[in-house]
Every structure is written in C-alpha cells, then in structure tokens.
Amino acid sequence: MKRKRRSPEEAKAEILSVAEQLILEDGPNALTLKKIAKTMKLSHPAILHHFGSAEQLMTALQQKMSRSIREDFIDVLSTAQNPTDRLRFIDQVLAKLSDPRNGRTLAFLLASGVDPFPNDEEKGLEHVLSNLNQNQQYNTQELQNTILLAVLCMYAEGMMGELIRKRLGHNLNSVQFRHWMLELLGKNLQLPASQAPKEPSNIKPTTP
C-alpha cells in the first residue's frame, strides 16, 4: 500500500490529533513518540522530524489549547453583546480551562520544568484585556487581577479540584464551583451574574 503523503503542516496537525486521542485514552504519562508512530504507521524518525520529544509534543498540544481558549474568549467579547449570552459563553470558556484532562497534561509539563503556554510575545492575555476594555473602562489593576484569579482557579480546578473537595467534607461539585466563579466574574465585570447558567455547560472539551 502506498504511504500517504502529507505536507509538513498536515503531518503536524495529524500528529497532534493522534497524540490528543492517546492522552485522552491513556493519560499524559503513557504518551510516547513510538506509540504515535505505530498508530500513524510512520517511522519514529518521521515523528522526531516534527517534534523532538513527547514532552515537546505535549507542549505543542497545550499551546494549541491555550490559543483556542483565548480565541473563543475574544470571539465571545466581540460577538456576544447581550450580557446573558456573554455569561453563557464565558461559562463555556471556563469549562475548557478547568477540564481535568487538560489539567493532568498541564501538571505533567509544569512538573517537567516546561513552560506550556504560548510565547508571551503573542500577548494573548493582553488581547483579552484589550477586548474587555473596548466597551467599558475598567480599573486596569482590578481587571488584571480578575482575569488572573479566573485563569488560576480554573487551571487548579482541572489539576486537583476533586482531590481538594473530598477534604472539605461537603458535596460541592466542579460545575457549582465554576458557576460560583462565574458569578464573581460577573460582579467584577459588571455583568448580571444572577443570570449565570444553572445547568452544566453542554460544551465538549476538545483537548486533553
């Protein structure tokens, strides 16, 4: 059978897609370039040509996810003018940030000493702050702290939320916590937080 020819861009995208599926099935610790090569019917050097190690591959996946979430958030701010719609879409963004599968990959990379986020030269969070400020003039420090709080809380939720909740001795769940955070964001961003979604988001996380 003739081997499928891929452009470098197509090969990278397919490798990331296969790696994502393997992480979803077996977790980040089980991901190896050998396993990806076997799944794709490629040689190990062919994978190395695009990603030098499994760690580099997971970093690329994490960066892809971060960019996707950033783009989703900016899209919400640009298109959802109704405050209730904004809250609903922001809830979907928070759901992606706090996905435990993503949290496991993030924890693995951080423990390996890797910076798993897009290059700061992209100024991703600055773009988010700029879009938030388009229609309302927030106090800059308050806005920065609000975004920082949301991002840190949701990433921590994905990494260890269930473990911490078990030790609190009550039956809070991840959706309740996310909606509490959404109400807090609503207050700080002057949105009608009382209209925060009452049911879990229907969004399907698309990353590990």
Mark whether 171 and 119 lie in a shared domain: yes
Owning domain of residue 28: 8-52
Confidence grade of residue 201 (pLDDT, cut at 50, 70, 90):
very low
Q: List helix spans (H) across 98-169.
A: 100-111, 124-132, 140-168
Mark whether 27 and 99 lie in a shared domain: no
pLDDT attached to residue 202: 44
pLDDT digits (tens, 9 = 90+) for 123-143: 888 888 888 877 677 888 888
Name the range with the highest mean pLDDT among 7-16, 33-42, 117-126, 157-166: 157-166
Confidence check: pLDDT of 198 > 80: no
pLDDT averaged over every residue in the chain: 81
Mark whether 37 and 101 lie in a shared domain: no
Mark whether 189 and 109 lie in a shared domain: yes
pLDDT attached to residue 155: 94
Can you say whether the dihedral through the CA atoms of 3, 34, 60, 87 is positive or negative?
Answer: positive
pLDDT attached to residue 20: 80
Mark whether 98 and 183 lie in a shared domain: yes
Mark whether 101 and 183 lie in a shared domain: yes
Mark whether 31 and 131 lie in a shared domain: no
pLDDT attached to residue 192: 55
Mark whether 83 and 121 lie in a shared domain: yes
CATH of the domain at 44: 1.10.10.60
For a pLDDT cut of 70, what percent of the chain falls above it? Answer: 87
In a domain, 88, yes or no: yes
pLDDT attached to residue 203: 40
What lies within 8 Å, CB to CB, of 195 at 6+ separation is: 83, 84, 87
In a domain, 87, yes or no: yes
Residue type for 22, please?
L
pLDDT attached to residue 29: 72
pTM of the model: 0.74
Confidence grade of residue 208 (pLDDT, cut at 50, 70, 90):
very low
pLDDT attached to residue 193: 47
What total of structural domains would you count in the chain?
2
pLDDT attached to residue 207: 39
CB 56 within 8 A of CB 203: no
> Which of 55, 66, 56 minimizes the C-alpha distance to 154?
66
Confidence check: pLDDT of 197 > 70: no
In a domain, 200, yes or no: no
In a domain, 201, yes or no: no
The whole-angstrom separation of Cα 208 and Cα 192 is: 32
Mark whether 88 and 173 lie in a shared domain: yes
Confidence check: pLDDT of 205 > 80: no
Mark whether 79 and 40 lie in a shared domain: no
Mark whether 44 and 71 lie in a shared domain: no
In a domain, 95, yes or no: yes
Average pLDDT of 117-121? 88
CB 68 within 8 A of CB 204: no
In a domain, 172, yes or no: yes
C-beta neighbour count of 33 within 10 angstroms:
22
Which two three-digit tokens encode residue 207?
């990353």
